[in-house]
């Protein structure tokens, strides 16, 4: 794939303020994020490590400490949907006969699952989280005939968010470790595992710090850096000092811009809004235009909001796994929003609006997110009560053909005008 | 009797236990505010409630962001430990309006440091109870409403920063307690009295508070569910296996699959193709 295509796939086009140091950070980040490209999955066996495939992200620190090659099939599918030929991949997956309302990221994942080029994994880990689509993908992986003999482990993520839920999930993670040890012959190196957790904690602290900096008005840098930071920290095999270094420089450079009261160059910030769903793969055709033409900045979405706030307790393996359980259940984007009740989801939105001084809530309501089907009226009513302008879209974050970015732009423009923000 | 009253009494008992363990306990009393209820608007009430404070309180009081380099003290970081608890009752004797109790070091004694942080707000008002907790909790989203004080956006507990500038002006836990009381009383006319407890003495002192907080969160969730039901929404669905009527069917399928896997893996097994 060409550099240009990689650039398009891995990040939204950076806004003008990301010059100089941010250009450098962007280049370094893209270099690392290229590891998520789908072709890497097909090259998995070449690494000589046991190959474990999972339906969701689960715990990168564990598989890294066991020196396993781990692929998150959903992330591969989502990345494929964002490639220049993403629409073709979606169409090919549809031809395979999947039900029409399945999330297109998972459709693409399924396309890779059934691809004849797909390497045979040494173990499979599936989970019921975060949403019905990923759960469905897990069922497909479990029932894929050529993989019938591959050892499988299924994690049961509870819908609760109290201590007993974290303990419950932590125990399952311990069972998963034992399963992986048996299936791959690799042992969990406790020292290496805890060292990776420490590095992961350092990255989490930096991501949380960057999050706060987005409170500044005007927003000092492209807010999407939070999402990029998350992907670097959680989707790439963790514990890499170069990722920590990128995040450290990102925070330092952003702090300088806050002190100088600098906003994004070329953006006269007038509107700050919450995009309360996954950022679309076609964001590059929407958000920069909204920012430059209307001064409307997307401050937050699912993946640029959640950060690994929970510090992994490295006192022991048990404490580490329990705190990982907490991090997974309430800090992980999508899991946080899709696994818990409507009240939790809307309270997050209302708090973000207040803390980050946002002017409006946009509910894209990605068509594949069936967990959101009951939420639009709840969200509208709650926003109305709080005096926050609210817009419902109903788009497909993975396939721009469903509601083209130009159409979304015009709808949002009309909305901002009609509520007196533009 | 309000279901939360037992937790209010538990909080008082915990303070006494900490006092007996020789923890430093300080009690501040906010000045009386006679006649606040007769004031025409929330902003007037806010002005009266914050009279004499060294910092501004209310919408637009601060930009809402305190940088690391401008921080005098950090409270309740994930490493230091944090716990927050909100209680509401209509039992008069249980809430001492304007009282702020601090167990542990004061802001001015902790320059450049990081302290564990427990925050308990005890509210009283006619008819107040567990059903009101989630709406009252929204009033505690400080955002930019307290000058020199930022609550970080990590949801759950309170993880906050006090700025150097605010500390220089004399920002203390008495200030913070009064500011929070002012935001709550001006934000909700139903609240007639507010008492605050802060614990900065140690992570271990937060453990019993957190145990109480966990129970209160469960009670509050019931209240939330009921409140939404009145609006016509069922915010919960019984989507865990234990509540599903088809569980026996799934259990059967699982046991068949397990048996099948066992056969496949046994010597001479088929390894289904």
Q: Are strands A51-54 and B149-151 parallel, antiparallel or unpaired?
A: unpaired
Taking only the tens place, the pLDDT of each residue in B90-127 is: 999 999 999 999 999 999 999 989 999 999 999 999 99
- Report chain B residues whose CB lies below 8 A from the CB of A314: none
A208 touches chain B (CB under 8 A): yes
Residues 6+ apart with CB under 8 A from B227: B131, B134, B135
- Whether cis (ω within 30° of 0) applies to the bond prior to A173 is no
Candidate from A212, A310, A350 with C-beta closest to B152: A212
What are the φ/ψ torsions at residue B126 (nearest 5 degrees)? -60, 125
Q: Which residues of chain A lie closer than 8 angstroms to B144, CB-CB? A: 357
Residue-level pLDDT at A161: 87
According to the model, what pLDDT value does residue A31 have? 93
* CB contact at 8 A, B100 and B28: yes
Residue A302 is encoded by which pair of tokens? 């699912």
CB A61 within 8 A of CB A239: yes
pTM value? 0.90
According to the model, what pLDDT value does residue B272 have? 41
Per the prediction, chain B carries an average pLDDT of 88
| Facing residue for A311 by CB, picked from B78, B224, B239 | B78
Q: Which positions in chain B touch A330 (Cβ < 8 Å)?
A: 156
- How would you class A98 by CB atoms within 10 Å of its CB: exposed for 0-12, middle for 13-18, buried for 19 or more? middle
Chain A residues lying within 8 Å of B154, measured CB to CB: 208, 307, 309
pLDDT value at residue A190: 93
Residue A336: is the preceding peptide bond cis (ω within 30°)?
no
Residues of B in contact with A163 (CB under 8 A): 214
C-beta atoms surrounding A342 within 10 Å: 20
Interface of B with A (CB under 8 A): 63-65, 67-69, 78-79, 134, 138, 141, 143-144, 150-156, 214, 217-218, 224, 228, 231, 233, 235-236, 239-241, 264, 271-273
State the Cα–Cα distance between residues A129 and A335, nearest whole angstrom: 6
Residue ranges with strand state E in A188-319: 271-275, 296-300
Interface test mutation site (partner A, options B84, B139, B233, max chain A beta carbons within 10 A): B233
Quote ipTM for the complex: 0.88
- CA B244, chain centre distance (Å): 33
Angstroms from B32 CA to nearest CA on chain A: 30
For tokens 């788009």, the residue is: A395
| Residue of A138, A149, A214, A340 to mutate when probing chain B, most B C-beta within 10 A | A149
Domains present along chain A, CATH in parentheses: 3-12+36-187 (3.40.50.11890)
Residue ranges of chain A with per-residue pLDDT less than 50: 1-18
pLDDT, residue A41, reads 77
Using an 8 Å Cβ cutoff, are B8 and B92 in contact?
no
Question: Hey, of B79, B144, B155, which one would you mutate to test binding to chain A, going by the most A CBs within 10 A of its CB?
Answer: B155
Q: CB distance B153–A216 less than 8 Å?
A: no
Q: List the single residue in A156, A330, A355 with the smallest CB-CB distance to B153.
A: A355
pLDDT tens digits for B41-57?
A: 666 889 999 999 999 99
Burial of B209 from C-beta contacts in 10 A (0-12 / 13-18 / 19+): buried
The minimum CA-CA distance between A309 and chain B, rounded to whole Å, is 6
How far is it, in rounded angstroms, from Cα B101 to Cα B27? Answer: 4
DSSP label of B209: H
The mean pLDDT value for B239-244 works out to: 67
pLDDT at B192 over 70: yes
* A208 chain-B contacts, CB cut-off 8 A: 152, 154
Residue A1 pLDDT: 37
Residue B273: the pLDDT is 38
Among all residues of chain B, which has the CA nearest to that of A145? B273
Which residues of chain A make contact with B260, given a CB cutoff of 8 A?
none
pLDDT on residue A3: 40
pLDDT of residue B264: 66
Mind giving me the DSSP string for A61-80? HHHHHTT-EEEEHHHHHHHH
């Amino acid at each position: 794939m060409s550099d240009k295509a990689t650039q398009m796939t891995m990040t939204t086009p950076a806004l003008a303020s990301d010059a100089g140091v941010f250009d450098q950070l962007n280049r370094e980040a893209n270099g690392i994020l290229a590891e998520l490209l789908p072709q890497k999955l097909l090259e998995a066996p070449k690494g000589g490590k046991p190959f474990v495939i999972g339906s969701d992200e689960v715990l990168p620190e564990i598989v890294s400490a066991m020196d396993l090659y781990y692929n998150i099939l959903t992330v591969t599918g989502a990345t494929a949907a964002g490639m220049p030929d993403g629409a073709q991949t979606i169409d090919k997956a549809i031809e395979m006969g999947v039900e029409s309302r399945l999330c297109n990221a998972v459709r693409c994942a399924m396309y890779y699952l059934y691809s004849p080029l797909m390497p045979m994994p040494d173990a499979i880990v599936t989970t019921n989280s975060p949403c019905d689509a990923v759960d469905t993908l897990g069922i497909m992986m479990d029932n894929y005939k050529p993989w019938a003999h591959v050892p499988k482990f299924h994690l049961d993520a509870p819908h609760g968010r109290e201590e007993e839920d974290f303990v419950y999930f932590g125990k399952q993670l311990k069972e998963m470790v034992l399963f992986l040890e048996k299936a791959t012959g690799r042992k969990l190196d406790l020292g290496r595992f805890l060292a990776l957790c420490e590095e992961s904690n350092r990255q989490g602290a930096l991501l949380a710090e960057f999050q706060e900096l987005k409170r500044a008005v005007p927003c000092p840098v492209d807010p999407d850096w939070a999402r990029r930071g998350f992907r670097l920290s959680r989707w790439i095999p963790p514990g890499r000092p170069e990722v920590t270094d990128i995040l450290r420089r990102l925070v330092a450079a952003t702090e300088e811009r806050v002190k100088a009261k600098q906003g994004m160059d070329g953006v006269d910030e007038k509107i700050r809004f919450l995009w309360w769903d996954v950022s679309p793969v076609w964001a590059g055709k929407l958000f920069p235009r909204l920012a430059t033409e209307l001064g409307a900045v997307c401050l937050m979405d699912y993946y640029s909001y959640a950060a690994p706030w929970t510090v992994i307790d490295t006192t022991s393996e048990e404490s580490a796994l329990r705190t990982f359980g907490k991090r997974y259940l309430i800090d992980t984007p999508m899991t946080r929003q899709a696994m818990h009740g409507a009240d939790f989801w809307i309270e997050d939105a209302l708090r973000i609006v207040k803390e980050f001084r946002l002017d409006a809530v946009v509910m894209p309501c990605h068509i594949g997110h069936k967990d959101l089907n009951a939420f639009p009226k709840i969200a509208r009513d709650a926003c109305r009560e709080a005096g926050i302008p609210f817009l419902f879209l109903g788009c497909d974050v993975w396939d721009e053909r469903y509601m083209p970015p130009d159409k979304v732009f015009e709808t949002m423009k009309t909305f901002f005008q009609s509520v007196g923000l533009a | 009797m309000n279901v939360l009253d037992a937790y209010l009494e538990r909080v008082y008992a915990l303070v006494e236990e900490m006092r007996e363990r020789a923890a430093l306990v300080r009690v501040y009393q906010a000045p009386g505010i006679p006649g606040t209820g007769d004031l025409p608007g929330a902003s007037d009430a806010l002005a009266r409630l914050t009279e004499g404070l060294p910092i501004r309180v209310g919408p637009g009081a601060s930009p809402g962001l305190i940088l690391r380099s401008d921080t005098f003290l950090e409270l309740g970081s994930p490493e230091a430990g944090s716990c927050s608890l909100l209680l509401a009752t209509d039992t008069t004797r249980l809430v001492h309006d304007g009282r702020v109790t601090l167990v542990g070091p004061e802001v001015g004694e902790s320059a450049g440091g990081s302290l564990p942080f427990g925050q308990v707000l005890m509210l009283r008002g006619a008819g107040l109870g567990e059903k009101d907790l989630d709406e009252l909790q929204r009033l505690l989203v400080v955002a930019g409403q307290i000058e020199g004080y930022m609550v970080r956006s990590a949801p759950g507990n309170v993880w906050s920063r006090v700025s150097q500038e605010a500390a220089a002006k004399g920002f203390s836990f008495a200030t913070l307690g009064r500011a929070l009381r002012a935001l709550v009383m001006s934000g909700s006319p139903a609240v007639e009295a507010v008492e605050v407890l802060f614990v900065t003495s140690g992570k271990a002192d937060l453990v019993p508070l957190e145990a109480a907080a966990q129970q209160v969160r469960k009670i509050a969730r019931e209240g939330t569910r009921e409140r939404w039901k009145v609006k016509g929404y069922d915010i919960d669905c019984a989507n865990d296996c234990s509540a599903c009527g088809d569980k026996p069917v799934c259990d059967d399928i699982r046991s068949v699959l397990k048996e099948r896997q066992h056969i496949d893996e046994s010597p001479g097994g088929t390894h289904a193709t």
